[in-house]
Chains A and B, each alone.
Chain A
Amino acid sequence: MRQSYKLIFERSREGRRAYDLPALDVPAVDAVPANMKREGKLDLPEVGEVDLVRHYTNLSRRNFGVDNGFYPLGSCTMKYNPKINEEVASMSENMHPILDEDMAQGSLRLMYDLEGYLCEICGMDAFTLQPAAGAHGELTGLMLIRAYHEKRGDDARKTIIVPDAAHGTNPASAVMAGFKVKEIKSAPDGGVDLDALREAVGPDTAGLMLTNPSTLGLFERNIKQIAAIVHEAGGLLYYDGANLNAIMGIVRPGDMGFDVMHINLHKTFSTPHGGGGPGSGPVGFKKHLEPFMPVPALVEREGMIELDYDRPDSIGKVKSFYGNFGVIVRAYAYIRSLGGAGLREASENAVLNANYIKNALRGVYHIPHDRICMHECIVTPTEEMMEKGVHTTDIAKALIDRGYHPPTIYFPLIVHEAMMIEPTESESRETLDEFIGAMKAIANEALTNPESVHACPKNTPIGRPDETTAARKPIVRYTRPE
């Protein structure tokens, strides 16, 4: 049912209030100097309580989250967040970050142990939990790389190599950390082109940023050679942990040759995702980068966890206090409730689910790199669909009408008309089958009745906004009609 949603300003009627105060029964005092008083009216909406409550309740019902339905957003790992994580996180809400260390041993122990678990899962020697999100983790990791080269007097290493399939944050973080970015083309199979990499490395190479599985959801089979090429050239290897959900308990970035990495706790370790945070992007690294890690480091001395600030080569603090603690607790709860075997099973099921969808859609959609995928798969509309004028964006809109959050579309950039589907391990076979059914029905409709697909979404408050005009001439502020 299409409902109209007014802005709260449009519901405003002069003089309406959601409260009722008694009349002033003491003398009024005008204590505010005239020059500090607002001239003119403060233009706030004026509504009654019931209108106010209905307005925000109805807005909240338009949210779509993983608690509402299937959310196969590729590269984003929108897995279900078990409610026990919330329960456990709520137990820590009375802690204050400036409590003395000896009064916060429980919290410090939790952080210290989580660092240890992440080291074990990733094959790293140490972790810092400070970075507030994934891109912040990238920046922190790149600052470690920079500090490492500078400490060695290797000042010419100013270039970070990034494959053209990388997440957009990779080059952005490299520039923020003071590096130049050199982009290299992918090989036809979507992996790193080894010849292009050999050509790109040199005495100016500070490092290479890479995800594995790659941004195409495929395992980078040449990772050992890639690591060797970069290391022999004197660079370091940075692992973007966006796709860690495919490999937990199976293969470790540290063993692949990566020197430094970040994790998105909100992806792989089931902490809340989206809505502006808070996120958490812990950074792991090998021994040779440890001297440069942010302070404070957590160290264990005589059974007590201490905050160690005595790190002369540290890049300094990257976040107030110790990171987003509530998120850290949720990740801890997730890891402890699954255990090592459970984490491996989560990755196995994530990979199985993605392959199940890919195989079911073969023949109905085009599959550009058709080999066994990892935790996500890429499909595109077929030639026949596109001849009827049905493109990826139309299929995404049609999925909205069928109750799904669309997958990631038009990413990675190196695949034309990409739809990147990541079901995660959370979903049952029935849910996957229903989604596959919807995708097949849309494919059929695209061929038999393309106009109907073009008209989607039909069940949302607005159908197809004019995205181009919205982007070219955005109106970002409400102005009252005169």
Chain B
Amino acid sequence: MIPTDRRYTREHDWVKFEEGIAILGITDHAQEALGDIVYVELPDIDAEIEIGESYTTVESVKAASPVDSPVSGRVVEVNTELDEKPELLNEDPYGQFIAKIACAEVNQDALLTAGEYEQFLAENKED
């Protein structure tokens, strides 16, 4: 099931807003498409991220994929557990965040509700 407490992008990332903080992660579809994740390159704390800028690179046995941020702001926390256990993103994509950003600006156009994302997944099954 796709959690309804957050928003989604067409690049298969999720973002959850909590009191001015944007919590970022990847969706179940993303982890499934990537395959076994072997490394997550976490951003530096205090790094300034712009909308559309890649804030992390997720590396799987197939490929290294940059992940773009739908928000701008300053990185306030990263999930350091992923350093040792990148497989957590495979096991629990909606329970594991990658980074938290003190959110300055949000690209609302890029964000889908759970229902819209589900529909997007169905429409784009082909690729």
Contacts and interface: CB of A to CB of B under 8 A. Distances in A.
Interface in B40-76: 52, 54, 59, 61-66, 68
Interface stretch (A46-54, A407-415, A438-446): A407-415
B54 A413 contact: no
A362 B125 CA distance: 20
Interface in A361-416: 368, 393, 409-411, 413, 415-416
A156 to B, nearest CB: 16
Nearest to A415: B127
B33 A416 contact: yes
Contacts, number: 33
A471 interface: yes
B50 to A, nearest CB: 9
Nearest to B125: A383
A183 B38 contact: no
Nearest to B62: A410
Interface residues of A, number: 16
Given A182-B52, A368-B127, A472-B86, A413 B65 contact: yes
Contacts of A468: 36, 38, 61, 87
Contacts of B68: 183
B66 A411 contact: no
A378 to B, nearest CB: 12
A467 interface: yes
Contacts of A413: 63, 65
A223 B62 CA distance: 31
Contact of B63 (A171, A368, A411): A411
Nearest to A368: B127
B63 A471 contact: no
Interface string A450-479: 000000000000000001100110000000
B39 interface: yes
B38 A416 contact: no
A367 to B, nearest CB: 12
A472 B87 contact: yes
B54 A183 contact: yes
Contacts of A182: 52
A339 interface: no
Contacts of B61: 467-468, 471
A168 interface: yes
Contacts of A393: 62
A471 B38 CA distance: 6
B57 to A, nearest CB: 10
A471 B62 contact: no
Interface string A332-370: 000000000000000000000000000000000000100
Contacts of B127: 368, 415-416
A150 B92 CA distance: 48
A183 B33 contact: no
A368 B124 CA distance: 13
A368 B127 CA distance: 8
Contacts of B59: 471
Nearest to B50: A180
Contact of A410 (B54, B63, B66, B86): B63
A394 to B, nearest CB: 13
A413 B30 CA distance: 13
Nearest to A188: B127
A43 to B, nearest CB: 30
A410 B60 CA distance: 11
B61 to A, nearest CB: 5
Contacts of B65: 413
B45 to A, nearest CB: 20
B75 to A, nearest CB: 17
A382 to B, nearest CB: 12
A392 to B, nearest CB: 9
B41 to A, nearest CB: 13
Contacts of B33: 416
Contact of B66 (A183, A409, A415, A472): A183
Contacts of A410: 62-63
Contacts of A467: 36, 61
A468 B87 CA distance: 9
Contacts of B38: 468, 471-472
Contacts of A183: 52, 54, 66, 68
29 contacts: A168-B64, A171-B66, A182-B52, A183-B52, A183-B54, A183-B68, A368-B127, A393-B62, A409-B62, A410-B62, A411-B63, A413-B63, A413-B65, A415-B127, A416-B33, A416-B127, A467-B36, A467-B61, A468-B36, A468-B38, A468-B61, A471-B36, A471-B38, A471-B39, A471-B59, A471-B61, A472-B39, A472-B86, A472-B87
Interface of B: 33, 36, 38-39, 52, 54, 59, 61-66, 68, 86-87, 127
Given A413-B65, A416-B33, 8 more contacts: A168-B64, A183-B52, A393-B62, A415-B127, A416-B127, A471-B39, A471-B61, A472-B38
